[in-house]
Amino acid sequence: MIKSVKPLLPILYSFRRCPYAMRARLAIFKSGIEVELREITLKNKPPEMLELSAKGTVPVLQLTDGKVIDESLMIMEWTAEQRPDCDELKNASNCEVRALIKINDFEFKKNLDNYKYSVRFPEKSMQEYRQDGEIFLQRLEDKLVNDYLFGETMSFADLAIFPFVRQFAFVDKAWFDSAPYSRLKAWLARCLASQEFQSIMEKYPEWVVDRNQRITFGGDFK
Ligand SMILES: N[C@@H](CCC(=O)N[C@@H](CS)C(=O)NCC(=O)O)C(=O)O
């Protein structure tokens, strides 16, 4: 039987390409909190992670007091609580921010999956699924009067949402590049070019329990 001990650093189980894990890594990176990063694959989830969270989704964060957070937004909130002075994590509990993230997570994500895997859902065509998703793209386009969703700097909302828009954009990049959402496209390009995104997309080997190498991430809060 696996025994979970309280770790010296928080441990993040993550999967590089998962948008939920991306938002968690982005918030951790912004907060400057150092964590041990355990890169997993969805086809080979480690029992150590499943013991902490049986639902088997990433990201999962185990804190140094043993507590486990297995929802990406809650991990983001935790980082915001640890760093109340971090501007980019500040609007975490703003009602408008939460409402926008809710639409992202419960409507847009569904439309994104239908669009991305449209062959599995023949009720509608790929274009129709894309049009469903475009309702949210238009909403973001209207919102983007500044460089970022809630002002001139990246905030909690941008961190929580852009990994999903990225995925939508890459389903058919040629279409996205020609789509009439100029502010949204500029925003996404800005987010993708950001130092934080570059840093969280570094590639790590899959975590194996006995490897004599511990990979840490984040930790340069100033
Ligand atoms: N509500 C969860 C959703 C996380 C989620 O669904 N992650 C996907 C990867 S992108 C996952 O782990 N899926 C499990 C699987 O495919 O086995 C969160 O916000 O953390």
Ligand 1 center to 221 CA (angstroms): 28
Asked if pLDDT for residue 216 goes beyond 90, the answer is: no
The answer to whether residues 25 and 217 touch, using CB atoms and an 8 Å cutoff, is yes
Average pLDDT, the chain: 94
pLDDT tens-digit series, residues 88-120: 898 888 999 999 999 999 999 999 999 999 999
- If you take atom 8 of ligand 1, which residue's CA is the nearest one? 57
Question: What's the confidence (pLDDT) of residue 3?
Answer: 55
- Our answer on whether the CB atom of 18 is closer than 6 Å to any ligand 1 atom is yes
- Our answer on whether the CB atom of 75 is closer than 6 Å to any ligand 1 atom is no
Domains contained in the chain, CATH given = 11-87+198-217 (3.40.30.10), 95-149+155-193 (1.20.1050.10)
- In three-state form (DSSP H/G/I as H, E/B as E, the rest C), the secondary structure along 63-112 is CCCCCEECCHHHHHHHHHHHCCCCHHHHHHHCHHHHHHHHHHHHHHHHHH
Pairing verdict, β 35-39 and 216-217? antiparallel
Ligand 1 center to 180 CA (angstroms): 31
| Higher-confidence position of 17 and 216 | 17
- Our answer on whether the CB atom of 72 is closer than 6 Å to any ligand 1 atom is yes
* Ligand 1 atom closest to Cα of residue 59: 20
- If you take atom 12 of ligand 1, which residue's CA is the nearest one? 57
Give the mean model confidence (pLDDT) for residues 126-153: 97
Ligand 1 center to 14 CA (angstroms): 10
Question: What's the confidence (pLDDT) of residue 222?
Answer: 46
* Six token digits for residue 213: 């190498």
The number of residues in the chain equals 222
From 12, 13, 57, the mutation candidate for ligand 1 (largest count of ligand atoms within 8 A of CB) is 57
Lowest mean pLDDT among 3-12, 36-45, 76-85, 206-215: 206-215
Question: What's the confidence (pLDDT) of residue 211?
Answer: 65
- Cα separation values, 128 from 43, 111, 141, 204, Å: 30, 10, 20, 37
Angle ∠(74,76,82) on CA atoms, nearest 5 = 100
Query: What one-character-per-residue DSSP string does 153-202 give?
Result: S--HHHHHHHHHHHHHHHHSHHHHHHSS-HHHHHHHHHHHHSHHHHHHT-
The answer to whether residues 40 and 92 touch, using CB atoms and an 8 Å cutoff, is no
The answer to whether residues 158 and 191 touch, using CB atoms and an 8 Å cutoff, is yes
Percent of the chain at pLDDT exceeding 90: 86
Ligand 1 center to 12 CA (angstroms): 14
The CB density around residue 82, as the number of other CB atoms within 10 Å, is 16
The region that residue 41 occupies, defined by phi over 0 for left and psi between -120 and 50 for alpha, beta otherwise, is beta
The CB density around residue 173, as the number of other CB atoms within 10 Å, is 9
pLDDT tens-digit series, residues 20-66: 999 999 999 999 999 999 999 999 999 999 999 999 999 999 999 99
- If you take atom 11 of ligand 1, which residue's CA is the nearest one? 57
Lowest mean pLDDT among 42-46, 60-64, 142-146, 211-215: 211-215
Ligand 1 center to 21 CA (angstroms): 8
